[in-house]
Amino acid sequence: MKTALRMTSLFLCIIISAGLIACGGESQTTTGAATEPDSGVTATDAAPATEPVTETPATEAETTAATEAETTAPPKPDVADGMMIYYEDFSSYGDIDDTDGVIAALGWKIQDVFDDYAPSDWTASLRLENGELCVSNYADDGSFSGSDSYAMILDAAYMARAEKYGSYTLQYDVTYGTASNHKRYINFVTEYDGETYNSFHFRVGGYGNNQVYYCTKWHTYDAANEDDLFAAQKTTEDGLSTIAYKLLGRAEPLGDTYKDMFKDVTVTIRVIRVGGLADILMKTADMDDFVRVSRSCPDADGYGYAADLDGGAVCFKAGGAINGRVDNVAIWAGTGDMPADKTVTYVP
């Protein structure tokens, strides 16, 4: 049933791209009552009935106390700039060397095509080692090449108040290992519901894409103009605009010969979300300050899609066949710097 619904949803999305109807749908299921089989016991063989038990009704004092407990529950703290929504530095679990153990410890949920409408099924292996999340989705000898793999870390219900607040910042550290090609990446995606989500994917080859995945297609949020300073996908040589130049000082044109451009380089990625759109800042461990590498542009082909995304979940993603390490995943309200106090005070 879910597979048929997913195919229907994808068919509707294709119609949307032609401007005919809106994408969406819901499934309905019914549950029938089971009929118990004849036990073979006659009425005369059955055990004698016991005396009925009469429950003592709650006293007026007990009822009053229960009502007061419900009405005096402390209100949720207001979402405000700098409130920590999520923080994970992977340091409190010890070393765990199997994916199921890691997922259980972190409280994440692997997404699949059949149950969760994920674009592809999970193939990556995870482990916790030395306080980092280690990701393996590629064999160095090329004998295994994994596909895009998704794991939900915060569902839409958890993120609802943050989304309503209107702005939040996602930040994480990533260090790439070997990859099958220069386009591979590891990241965290937002506004996720399986069929649509926002994503900034910084590629191991030294460039990136600030995009929305909408109805099986990618649409760009930032400038497509190669002369624009904040076109993250920029790959040509100009000495100014590529991510490789801004972070490493590498000015050569980028392409498939540079799949190791950022191998073993730890970068911190900051995704500043405002109203569904994002500015992207990055820095290496050797840099004192962040630099902007992408800014949402009204002229981009995906700019208007932000208002159409219904999902609010945050997911980890291994972007294809790549290995790497992740650390210090943080989400906080507003657009300022990361709070010094990492204590999560947000209440969903």
Q: List, in sequence order, every beta strand (DSSP E) within 57-166.
A: 84-88, 109-110, 125-129, 132-136, 149-154
Q: Which residue has the tokens 């709070």?
A: 339
Structural domain total, the chain? 1
Flag whether 127 is in a domain. Answer: yes
pTM over 0.85: no
- Is 39 within the bounds of a domain? no
Asked if residue 21 belongs to a domain, the reply is no
- Looking at this protein, which amino acid is placed at residue 170? L
Tens digit of each residue's pLDDT, the chain (348 residues): 444 444 445 444 444 444 433 333 333 333 333 333 333 434 334 444 555 555 566 676 666 666 665 667 789 999 999 999 999 999 999 999 999 999 999 999 999 999 999 999 999 999 999 999 999 999 999 899 999 999 999 999 999 999 999 999 999 999 999 999 999 999 999 999 999 999 999 999 999 999 999 989 999 999 877 678 899 999 887 667 899 999 999 988 888 888 889 999 999 999 999 988 899 999 999 999 999 999 999 989 999 898 888 889 999 999 999 999 999 999 999 999 999 999 999 999
Distance CA 144, CA 224 (A): 34
Give CA–CA dist 50/79, Å, rounded: 56
CATH of the domain at 297: 2.60.120.560
Is 101 inside a domain boundary?
yes
Q: Is residue 292 in a domain?
A: yes
Does residue 226 belong to any structural domain of this protein? yes
Q: Which domain holds residue 118?
A: 84-333
Residue 47 maps to a domain: no
174 CB-near residues (< 8 Å, 6+ apart): 186, 187, 202, 266, 267, 269, 324, 325, 326
Q: Report yes or no on 70 lying in a domain.
A: no
- As to burial, measured by CB atoms within 10 angstroms (0-12 exposed, 13-18 middle, 19+ buried), residue 133 is buried
d(CA 239, CA 231): 14
Kindly give, in sequence order, each residue whose CB lies less than 8 Å from that of residue 122, ignoring residues fewer than 6 positions away: 110, 111, 112, 149, 150, 151
